[in-house]
Structure formats: structure tokens, C-alpha cells
Amino acid sequence: MFDFDALINCFGMASCAVNQLTSGLIIGMLLFLVASGLTLIFGVLNVINFAHGTFYMVGAYFAFSTYLFTESYLLSAFVGALGAGIFGIFFERVLISKVYGQDILMQLLVCYAFILITDDLVKLIWGTDYIAMGIPDEFRLAPFRIFGGYVPPLYAFLIILSLVIGILTILLISKTRFGSIVRAAAENSPMVSALGIRVPLYFALLFGLGCALAGIAGALAAPVRSLTPGMGFGILIESFIVTVIGGMGSIPGALIAAIILGLTRSIGSVGFPLFVDGLMFLIMAIVLIFKPTGLFVKGSPK
């Protein structure tokens, strides 16, 4: 089960170490995008979007189809994000907002049904087989050489872009008018309504933003992962683990936790492939026992 020799060997060789670190960072950054959407929606609406993974999937498939037509990776990533965002607003307005404030049982069922429906629709449109998008033409370039390891330009691009998107999101929430309205409404929505602001609209936009973050993660991941109906569920669970570790509602927390998890995954795949999931859950359990609010949030989750 454990292969420490392989682990030590890998870290003895710069090339292997660099490869594992980059792949860990990529996993982590994509996870961060999905998790930051989840944590954003929770922080403001106090709703856990159990269907969040669906928007990751939708983003990936939209991007794939766009790429088939336009052969532009950047454009397809944009379409993936936009499509997931609009789909998210639809989901919020038409379905989930109808059960806000109700029994959590109702929210669970709406999400469950939504996932079933969307997964089946994806099967209808794109088929049940695994789809590979492949490395886009824009990025068929010679890899960078770093410390004896090779880093494909696409990977470097993914890591940097995710980071930029994360920073932009934080700025959007903390510095803009949109952000301050949303934060105020999260604290006291009747008060903000009384000022003549259409709170439900802002909530829907925020929900859409959260889903767009999941969507762009899916779209960006399309060249490096294979697409399959139901692909959203695994990432949902992982991004939940990220938000538990980082703290519900905290985007910086999500970033750090996602990187921890990404590195665990990539390093684990060399040293203890069967135990990777177990280790992730173990980290989560330990955080829950000793600091149930997550590492980067004060207060208690009660």
C-alpha cells in the first residue's frame, strides 16, 4: 500500500519532483476555483449548493463544444464560464430559491433531482462515452525547463489564470459596489431591500458568479481531464473538503486548503495511491475535530 521508496526516489530527482509539484498545483488551483464558488454562495446565501459539481460539468461540456467549432481554447473557457453562470442563475431563480428558508430536506431533494436531470441531459446531448478534448493548438509549444523538470506552458497558464481569477473574485466581493451590496444583504437583507435594492437579483447574480467559477474550472480542465456525465460529483466532494478545511465562507482559506489537497493528491499518487482519498478525509476529520470552523475562519459553525 505504501511505497516510500518511490516517493523518496521521486523527490531525489528534480524532474520528478517538479512534475509532481506542478500537477499538484494544477489539481489544487482547479479545485480552488470550484471551492471558491461553493464557499462564496454559502457565505452570502447560507446555502450549500449540493448541485455545484453540475456546473463544473456543464462548463466543461460547453467549452468542449465551443472548442470544436472555434478551435480557440480561451474563447471556449469563456463560453464555459458564461454558460455555467447563466445556467446557475436559472437554477437559482426557477428552482432552489423556491425552497430557501425551508427544510433542508427540500433543498437536498431539489439538488438531487437537478443533478439527475442534468446528468441525463448531458448523456442525451454528448453521449455516455468519455470525451477527451486534447491539448489545444494555442498551447502546443515547447515546455519550460525548471530545475531539470519540464512544465508544459498550458499547465503554467492554468495555474496563473486560476490565481488571477481568484484574486479578481476577492476584489469583486471586497472592493466593488456589487460586492458591498451583496455583503450587506447577507447581513441584513430586509434592510437592504428597504433601500430600494432588488436583493433577489443580487443574490441570483452572486449564485451565478459562484456557478461560473465552477464552470470555468470545468472549462479550463477540459484539456487535462476526460469528460463524462457525472464528472461533477467527485469534484463537489473534494471542494466541500476544501471548504471545510479552509473554513466556510473564506476564499483565501479555500486557496490554501485546495493547494494542500492538490499536493496531497499528486504526491500521494506516487507514494500511497490507495490511501490518497483516505488521507484527504483524515485531514478533514482532524480539522473538524479540533477546529470545526475551518483553519481560516473564527467563530463556530453553529
Partner 1 sequence: MSTFTLFKKDISIALFSVLFLILIGFFVEHPWPKDFLISIFSFGLLAMSLNMLIGFAGMVSFGHAAFFALGGYAFGLLLQSESFLTNFGALSIIVAFFVSIFITGIYSAVIGAICVRLNEIYFAFLTLAFQMFLYSVIVSWVSLTGGDQGLMGGIARPVFLGIDLSNSLHRYIFCSVIFVICILLLRILNKSNFGYSLRLIRDNQERAEFLGIRVFRVKLICFVIASMVASVGGIIMTLFTSGAYPEWAFWTQSGEAIFMIMLGGISIFLGPLVGTVLLRLINDVVQMYSSHTELVTGIIIMIVVLGLRKGLVEYLLEKTGILKK
| Binding residues for partner 1 (CB under 8 A) | 46-48, 50, 95, 98-99, 102-106, 108-110, 112-117, 119-121, 123-124, 233-234, 237, 240-241, 244, 274, 277-278, 281, 284-285, 288-289, 292, 301-302
Cα radius of gyration rounded to whole Å, the chain: 20
Nearer to partner 1, 50 or 67 (CB): 50
Of 79 and 96, the one with the shorter C-beta distance to partner 1 is: 96
| Residue 257 C-beta: closest distance to partner 1, Å | 14
Q: Which is nearer to partner 1, 108 or 171 (CB)?
A: 108
Tell me the sheet residues that pair with 149.
146
32/272 with CB nearer partner 1: 272
CB of 115 to partner 1, least distance (A): 8
**Closer of 71 and 120 to partner 1 (Cβ):** 120
CB of 274 to partner 1, least distance (A): 6
Q: Are 246 and 294 in contact (CB under 8 A)?
A: yes
DSSP code of 227? B
Beta bridge pairs of residue 150:
145
CB of 13 to partner 1, least distance (A): 27
Q: Which is nearer to partner 1, 127 or 278 (CB)?
A: 278
Sign, CA torsion 263/294/274/6: positive
* Signed CA dihedral, 134, 234, 29, 185: sign only: positive
Task: Report the nearest approach of partner 1 to the CB of residue 42 (Å).
Answer: 8
Q: Are 95 and 114 in contact, with CB atoms under 8 Å apart?
A: yes
Contacts of 210 (CB under 8 A, 6+ apart): 37, 38, 40, 41, 49, 52, 88
Q: List CB contacts of 287: < 8 A, sequence separation 6 or more.
A: 244, 245, 294, 295
Q: Which residues contact 281 (CB under 8 A, 6 or more apart)?
A: 241
Closest separation in Å from C-beta 201 to partner 1: 21
Shorter beta-carbon distance to partner 1: residue 222 or 257:
257
Q: How far apart are CA 92 and CA 6, in angstroms?
A: 47
> Shortest approach of partner 1 to residue 297 CB, angstroms?
13
